[in-house]
Structure 1
């Protein structure tokens, strides 16, 4: 990785502190859900006969862990935001006896391996790949997978507001260089996409979902900017969704493979 790429990655991970903010935690449930098929597919990645112990990294409020826990023997869900964990405990299955919440950075948190599967939602881009990929390799059982899960929505939530988002966001969005393959940090084995589900949301809730993201946290934006964003976004969206609701088709894409050093 070039020095410039390292600098971008370091800066990007710094934005993750926003997920410790109360406004982000409270807005998190306005994000589109994973289709239920996601969890059957994840459970199917565990090799038969192995103890089905799973590690969910960057778990947030447990949107993967809380729904997967009934399909496996145990899930350890780790996040560096205590506020996210406390909120997750209050949500359905948050107190499941086979779900253990762990507070800390996955780079150095105390874990209980071996694991048959490591799952990551939209969280890996906040982590130091040079540390976590080799660590995942160490804590996984032989031939255990890292599964990366991301949602995709139609229409794309970012497109209708594309003109105003750069003016309001507080991060310098670039994304980390996606060079895990080149560094032999991740050997992709397969991928699949769930069938779409329909998700209907009010415009107010949809706009609030932006405040669950690092660049739009209310703490970082400030009250005046956050209010101005909400008002301008709603004015734009009402032109296309005059009844005040927006209907999405949501899929989840799962990519699985072997993390560093396999």
Structure 2
């Protein structure tokens, strides 16, 4: 199956860059209720979870407090090293694993496989059957997302298009595509209650440099600084205090990685 052209190896490689890893913690992250939902989805006697494309551990570092072990896999050493410096990054139950989940050696069985903002970068034809093999019988793949409202960037669409270093012009639903191609069977979906977050304009803008199209290494420092100044000037028109009040929710969609006959 074909993914949108945006999800190339070249664009994924941006997450190996130091500036992306350093800015990643500034993205709005999952409310605590998200992890309660994930624990409820675990199957079998195993208390081990596999978190794929873990990045700096936004899922793994919180979930490890509620389970026996989390194996957190990422192909970016920069992301892993940054994650180790964040809260719970050195938790004894958290095992950081550097490599591609498509072929890295793992220690199954897992009661749950989790994926945050990462699954779209992977080779679905390889990883979905592998997840099924790694899971306990009847085990779920849970895809976790985060949403923050309002979306200040909707007023900056022209600025984003003019500064980004890649093209991102697509409309598709990843999980619907996986289901259509027989690689995933959705079982359920839940969304958390909203939690409040107030973020400074500087931090909010900096969080954009944790995205593949706005890596400082790829933009170049001068152009990245220009982007920051222009974005802040426009955002101050709507947020003159220099702070953005956000309502953050987490979403979890779970189902069977395919092929699955159950």
For these two proteins, the number of residue pairs brought into alignment is 257
TM normalised by structure 2 equals 0.95
Residue 38 of structure 1 pairs with residue 52 of structure 2 = no
Q: Flag as ranges the 4+ runs of structure 1 deviating above 6 A.
A: none
Equivalent residues of 2:8, 2:121 under 8 A apart:
yes
* Aligned residue in 2 for 1:129: 124
**Following TM superposition, by how much is the alpha carbon of 1:97 offset from its aligned partner in structure 2, in angstroms?**
0.9
Are 1:149 and 2:144 an aligned pair? yes
The TM-score normalised by the length of structure 1 is: 0.95
Query: Do 1:13 and 1:125's aligned partners in 2 also have CA atoms closer than 8 Å?
Result: no
TM superposition shift of 1:22: 0.5
- 2:46–2:109 Cα contact (<8 Å) kept: no
TM-superposed deviation, 1:156: 1.7
> 1: CA distance between counterparts of 2:10 and 2:130?
21
- The root-mean-square deviation of aligned C-alpha atoms, in Å, is 1.4
Give the distance between the partners of 2:62 and 2:253, measured in 1 at CA: 18
Deviation per CA, 1:81-136: give whole Å up to 9, x if none: 01111111111111111110000011111111111100000111111111111110
Taking the aligned partners of 2:154 and 2:3, their CA distance within structure 1 comes to: 29
Where structure 1 has 5 or more consecutive residues not aligned to the other structure, the ranges are: none
Written as runs of structure 1 = structure 2, the 5 A alignment for 1:206-217 is 206-217=204-215
- Would the alpha carbon gap of residues 123 and 7 (structure 1) be closer, same or farther in structure 2, given more than 3 Å must change? closer
- Partner Cα separation in structure 2 for residue 158 and residue 50 of structure 1: 44
2:80 and 2:29 mapped to 1: Cα distance? Answer: 18
Gaps of 5+ in 2: none
1: CA distance, partners of 2:74 / 2:41: 23
2:11 aligned residue (15, 19, 29):
15
